[in-house]
Amino acid sequence: MQQEVFEALLRNALPKGKESDDAETRKAAVRSLMQAVKTIGMERMPVGVLKDCLEVCYRALNDY
């Protein structure tokens, strides 16, 4: 599993409050996180990464 990929997706899934912030990028990052979790399988993911993914997805709900 590529930790850097998950870190990039986690960073881009939430609003940053910058002018260059893009809703479509955030949406794609959330979708990609969920697809990665499905592909790898929750039982095979490190607990910390899975926790971060779920937390970010929960926080991203405030964006909609």
Task: Provide the pLDDT for residue 64.
Answer: 65
Sorted by where each begins, the domain ranges of the chain are: 3-63
Q: Which amino acid is at 42?
A: M
As given in the structure block, the two tokens for residue 2 are 């590529």
Is residue 61 classed as helix, strand or coil in its secondary structure? helix
Prediction pTM value: 0.81
Q: Which amino acid is at 30?
A: V
Asked if 60 contacts 30 with a C-beta cutoff of 8 angstroms, the reply is yes
Query: pLDDT tens for residues 22-59?
Result: 889 899 999 999 999 999 898 998 899 999 998 998 98
